[in-house]
Amino acid sequence: MDVIDVIRTKRDGGRLSDEQIRWFIDSYTNDRIAEEQASALLMAIVWRGMEPDELNVWTDAMLSSGERLDLSSIGLPTVDKHSTGGVGDKVSLILVPMVAACGVAEPMLSGRGLGHTGGTLDKLEAIPGWRADLSTEEILRLLGEVGCVICAAGGTLAPADKKLYALRDVTGTVESIPLIASSIMSKKIAEGTDALVLDVKVGSGAFLPDIALGRELAETMVTIGTAHGVKTTALLTDMEAPLGRAAGNGLEVTESVECLSGGGPPDLLEVTIALAQEMLSLAGIDADPAATLGDGRALTKYREMIRAQGGDPEAEMAQAPERQVVLAPASGYLRRLDARAVGIAAWRLGAGRSRKEDPVSASAGVLCLSKPGDYVDEGQPLLELHADEPSHFDGATAALEGAVDIGPEAPDPRPLVLERIG
């Protein structure tokens, strides 16, 4: 094989052969192809795209670059959820113990946040003692003992994706449906679950704000999962406004525990329960996930999971020493609260990172004191900003300029679950 021929094939709009794909993925993963050559092929894929069968082979080659977890010893149906990310999206913290309490095993291999979207591991690491890095043996043991685990993906699962993702991040080749889909699905298929539900966010706070692109990504990932023997469906969910009221690591843990205790914001609960119902349906389990919130089973399972990973589920979250409120500029109905602006504000307050190696604050973030549809009075606090340093407030308030619309009429309610695909 000649890497130049592979690049030229895609550059000129051709379909890469199965042999070319498998050779390229193997060679790049094992450092036999230069970074600039791999970058050239990625950019050609951004411009030229990939055919469905070509993308299936590409994903399979990434999957085959490492191990695939064998969950057959668990003895329970296995199902997972993946979200494309949003602002205030703490669904996993509630969903995982909820479905585990209904009798499925949920091995969620998750990640950390980058930019305005938060990461599940960052949120859980706000809990004193909680540990994200588990061995394969520990994952299997906890699935058998507790029924659920949320942890970091090890380096042995789809290592090709780890290398390619890092390269895409620095070469302007992230925004490509085939590359996004293969990145997500190679890791998720490697988990070895029987079924997978995808939460594809659309709206201002989403990675792909446009619903047409979100639908294309969802359809592409469902096709890949099905082709690899994983029962896969997707829900398109709204991300115009933050989900729930908290955006920030420890703040979101606190809100998640409120939901698990039978309270919490209605929008967060609606999306979480819809995803849980979809997961249980794919797993063939006839159960009401919402009932686990009312009778305490989900909260008990959450505490078991946190404790099994070294955390203290009863610990108080760190409190930010600095706080500042954003006031309503007029009286009327809150018609819009821009999710991306809130996410960027939380990031600038210290809850997010610009580079993967950056530290994040456990206590920084934004509390939404009002949500779209609420009536507010001029001068009423709309948002509460939490930071470790007062110097972070200027950047956060700048991000929130133009993020709020207030008018004399209440906005039409927005559906939270927009479409089901699969």
Active-site positions read 80-83, 120, 168, 183, 187-188
Give residues with Cβ within 8 angstroms of 339, minimum separation 6.
Answer: 86, 87, 88, 203, 204, 205, 206, 239, 240, 241, 242
Q: Are 200 and 238 in contact (CB under 8 A)?
A: no
DSSP H or E segment with residue 15: none
Sign of the CA dihedral running 313, 110, 274, 304: negative
* CA gap 385, 362 in Å, rounded: 14
Residue among 217, 242, 172 at smallest CA distance from 404: 242
Sign of the CA dihedral running 45, 46, 48, 49: positive
CA angle 25, 27, 33 (to 5 degrees): 110
Question: 312 is written with which tokens?
Answer: 């203290």
Give residues with Cβ within 8 angstroms of 101, minimum separation 6.
Answer: 147, 292, 297, 298, 300, 301
* CA gap 325, 348 in Å, rounded: 15
Distances (CA, A) of 251 to 21, 22, 154, 261, 351: 44, 44, 27, 16, 10
DSSP H or E segment with residue 359: none
Helix (H, G, I), strand (E, B) or coil at 66: coil
Per this entry, what is the length of the chain?
Answer: 422
Q: 88 in the Ramachandran plot: left (φ > 0), alpha (ψ -120 to 50) or beta?
A: left
Residue among 127, 81, 133, 84 at smallest CA distance from 105: 81
